[in-house]
Amino acid sequence: MTSSQKGTPPKRNKGFDATHDAIIEAAVRFISEKGVEALSMAAISRAVGINRTTLYYHFDDRDALIAAVKLWSSEQLSKGFDPQVPQQDRIDYISRFVLENAELIKLWFEDFVSPGDIRDRYPQWDALVGGTATKIKDQDGEPIDAEVYCTILLTAAFIAPRVYHLSVRPDLSLEAVTEKFRKEQQRVLRQDALYRV
C-alpha cells in the first residue's frame, strides 16, 4: 500500500517549502507592483525561475495562488495584533502595511467583506472580541457589543490610513500618516480604557 493509499501525504523534497515561499513572495511582489489582474502563472514561474510544471505542483491554478497570497496578507496583518508586541509598534505596523501594500490590501479586503466566517480570514477574531468584551463598558456601565466594536476597530485600522493618505492628505509622507494614526488610535483606545500609558 502506498502512502497516498494510506491517507498520508507524499514526502516533499527538501526544497519544497523554500520554493513554495518563493512563489508566494513573487506573487506578493507582482500583485503589489501590477495589481492582481495582471497576475499569471507564466509570469510567476519566470519570476521565480521555475518551470510551470513545478509551479502547478505547488498551486493547482491561479486562484489557489491568489488564495495563498490572501492568507499571507492575513498573517502579516495578524502580526499587528500580537499582544507580546508594544501597542504603539502594533498600530504602526498595521498602518505601514496598509499604506505600503495597497494592492494586497484591496485583495485582502475583498475577502474581509465577503460572506463567510471571519475566523477563516482572521484567526484571532475570537480572542480580540473576548478580550474587548471584558475590558470595555459604555458610560452607563453596560456591556458593549464587542463584535461590532471590534469590526469598527479592524475596519478603521485596515482602511482608514489608505483613505486618509490618498484622499485627505496626499501631501504627507507614509511616516507622517503612520504617526498621526498611532496618536489618534491611542487616544480612542485610552478613552475606551483599552490603552494604558
Which pLDDT score, from 0 to 100, does residue 121 have?
Answer: 72
Looking at residue 141, its pLDDT comes to 66
Query: Which are the contacts of 135, defined by CB distance < 8 A and separation ≥ 6?
Result: 193, 194
Kindly report each contact of residues 183-187 with a partner whose C-beta sits within 8 Å and lies 24 or more positions away, as own/partner: 185/91, 185/156, 185/157, 186/87, 186/88, 186/91
In terms of DSSP H, where are the helices of 86-124?
Answer: 87-100, 102-112, 118-121
**Contact call for residues 160 and 181 (beta carbons, < 8 A):** yes
pTM value is 0.73
Q: Is the pLDDT of residue 91 over 70?
A: yes
* Domain assignments of the chain as residue spans, ordered by start: 13-59, 73-197
pLDDT of residue 174: 93
pLDDT digits (tens, 9 = 90+) for 176-185: 999 999 999 8
pLDDT at 195 over 60: no
- Distance, first Cα to last Cα, the chain: 62
In the predicted model, is pLDDT for residue 7 greater than 70?
Answer: no
Distance CA 44, CA 39 (A): 8
d(CA 3, CA 59): 21
More confident residue, 155 or 46: 46
Q: What is the pLDDT of residue 42?
A: 94
Average pLDDT score, the chain: 83
Q: Determine which of 70-74, 122-126, 137-141, 167-171 has the lowest per-residue pLDDT on average.
A: 137-141
Average pLDDT of the segment spanning 175-196: 83
> Helix 146-163 to helix 87-100 angle, to the nearest 10 degrees?
50
The amino acid that residue 108 corresponds to is W
Question: Which one is the CATH code of 13-59: 1.10.10.60, 3.40.30.10, 3.40.50.300, 1.10.8.350?
Answer: 1.10.10.60
**Average pLDDT score over residue span 52-80:** 88
Banded pLDDT at 8 (limits 50, 70, 90)? very low
> If you average pLDDT over residues 116-127, what whole number do you get?
81
Lookup: cell for 166:
490618498
Mean pLDDT computed over 96-120: 83
